[in-house]
Amino acid sequence: MTLIGSRSVEWIEINQTGVEIGKRGLLQNKPEQMGWSQIDEIALGRYNDGSDHESMVTVNVFLTRGKYGLRKRLIPGYWLANELK
């Protein structure tokens, strides 16, 4: 499964209507489409929520708060080298 997944291609598209994140390959999921009204924040950096922090730079897409006041966090391209982010 890991070898099959390593052959997939992840993509992100940002346009006037919002952000779309998806994968092409054998183990692909349906692309996630988010309108600008659903997006709370897009950030590039080391994520730190006070109790947990990352050692590498990531692209973070935070969706607006949903049930129970929690935000959903998407991390497209977390595996990319820093110079490509």
pLDDT for 21 equals 87
Collect all residues with Cβ–Cβ distance below 8 Å to 69 and sequence separation of at least 6.
none
Question: What are the φ/ψ torsions at residue 44 (nearest 5 degrees)?
Answer: -125, 120
Domain, as residue range, for 29: 2-84
Q: Looking at residue 68, what is its pLDDT?
A: 80
State the pLDDT at residue 83: 66
Full-model pTM: 0.66
Give the CB-side neighbour count of residue 72, counting CA atoms within 13 A.
10
pLDDT of residue 17: 93
Low-confidence ranges of the chain (pLDDT < 50): none
The pLDDT value given to residue 6: 66
Number of domains forming the structure of the chain: 1
